[in-house]
Amino acid sequence: MALLEVRDLRVSFATREGEVRAVNDVSLSLERGRTLGLVGESGSGKSVTSMTMLGLTRSPTTEIAGEVLLDGIDLLGLSDDELRSVRGRRIAMVFQDPLSSLHPMRRVGWQVSEAIRAHENVGKKAARARSVKLLRSVGIPSPETRIDAYPHELSGGMRQRVMIAMALALGPELLIADEPTSALDVTVQAQILELLARLQEERGMALILVSHDLGVIAEQTDEVAVMYAGRIVEHGPGETIIGSPMHPYTLGLLNSIPHVDGPRTERLMPIPGSPPSAVNLPPGCAFHPRCAFARLSCEGEVPSLQSVESGHRIACPVVAQDPSLVSASSP
């Protein structure tokens, strides 16, 4: 059985402007020790999907439907208290901005210890000793002294290492990292990504990496799900999605980015228009107003994911029927 199984997840928020349908019928599964990349642009629903798994979007104005099964237990059905014991212990999360996730007036050692003591009955001394070990394992130099530093005394990369140490404190089986390196410079990003990969390997942990950066996703993940307007539009092995994408949106994304290697692109091929508002999604396939291959039929029904080859699914009946359409414009 897969470690995580998400079935028909739907999340919508009631706002003054109307109902924001942030996530629509998202299904995915993840085996132990594997890495899933969740990629999409702002507002595609990738963060809401991952936060909902941890119950972080619960509120009176949020409507959540579907199932999030961790080892067969539906997390959506758990009470807040029950969920709290899952969070940290079995699933942990690392966010984009470590400065706003850390308590500014507490020493980092206190914060890591607190993460341990909230779940386990250990003394202060023992928790502190474990914190030092954790900080060392995430590559913080001289952790015995850094443990008494305040967040503002650490650099951005070091703060993110502290966040990772806190997330790993209880040995979770699944780590969700939501844009963990987007606030960092590239040379530091490379260090954090390498750290995540190493820790994952050592601990056999599953990882969901949420990112807008196709490069990060390509280098770091086994499987990739591409999201657009709250739906997964393409899903498959990383090499396939990056190397021979079939959904017109994925193709458009890959064609819009300039590269640091290979010959210099004379002209980028952007996707025309801009992403739709989640309050007012276009009928049928939400991508059709921007799509070069759109047919009249695309405005009708919302396309569901269908298999095009083993393990590779796209939500585009037009391309699924005639793959030669996209092979000409492959990146």
Partner 1 sequence: MSGATAAPLLRVEGLVKHFPARGVQRQQGSVVHAVDGVSFEIAPRETLGLVGETGCGKSTVARLVTRLLEPTTGRVEYDGNDITRWSRRRLRPLRREMQMVFQDPYSSLNPRRRVGSIVGDPLRAHHIGTRSERRSRVAEVLSLVGLDPSHADRYPHQFSGGQRQRIGVARAIVTNPRLVVADEPVSALDVSIQAQVLNLIDDLHREFGLALLFISHDVSVVRHVADRIAVMYLGQIVELAETERLFAAPAHPYTAALLAAVPIARATRPRRARVPVTGEPPSPLDPPSGCRFRTRCPFAQQICAEAEPPLEPRAGSLVACHFPLHPPASV
Please report, as ranges, the residues that interact with partner 1 according to CB under 8 A.
41-42, 155-158, 185-191, 193-194, 197, 212-220, 238-240, 242-244, 252-261, 264-265, 267-272, 274-275
If the CB atoms of residues 156 and 170 are measured against partner 1, the closer one turns out to be 156
Check: CB of residue 2 under 8 Å from CB of residue 31: yes
Closest CA to 225 of 96, 312, 325, 329: 312
Q: How far is the CB of 82 from partner 1 (least distance, A)?
A: 36
Q: How far is the CB of 250 from partner 1 (least distance, A)?
A: 11
Q: How far is CA 112 from CA 115, 170, 206, 306, 323, in A?
A: 5, 10, 21, 44, 51
Q: How far is the CB of 86 from partner 1 (least distance, A)?
A: 29
* 211 three-class SS: strand
CA distance 33 to 128: 28
If the CB atoms of residues 215 and 317 are measured against partner 1, the closer one turns out to be 215
If the CB atoms of residues 91 and 286 are measured against partner 1, the closer one turns out to be 286
CA distance 291 to 7: 27
Q: How far is the CB of 83 from partner 1 (least distance, A)?
A: 32
CA distance 320 to 313: 9
If the CB atoms of residues 6 and 175 are measured against partner 1, the closer one turns out to be 175
Check: CB of residue 195 under 8 Å from CB of residue 189: no
Q: How far is the CB of 9 from partner 1 (least distance, A)?
A: 23
Q: How far is the CB of 213 from partner 1 (least distance, A)?
A: 7
Q: How far is CA 271 from CA 10, 234, 252, 287, 296, in A?
A: 27, 17, 6, 10, 19
Closest CA to 12 of 50, 78, 61: 61
If the CB atoms of residues 265 and 297 are measured against partner 1, the closer one turns out to be 265
Q: How far is the CB of 141 from partner 1 (least distance, A)?
A: 9
If the CB atoms of residues 243 and 300 are measured against partner 1, the closer one turns out to be 243
If the CB atoms of residues 89 and 136 are measured against partner 1, the closer one turns out to be 136
DSSP for 186-203, please give it: HHHHHHHHHHHHHHHHHH
Number of CB atoms found within 10 A of residue 106's CB = 13
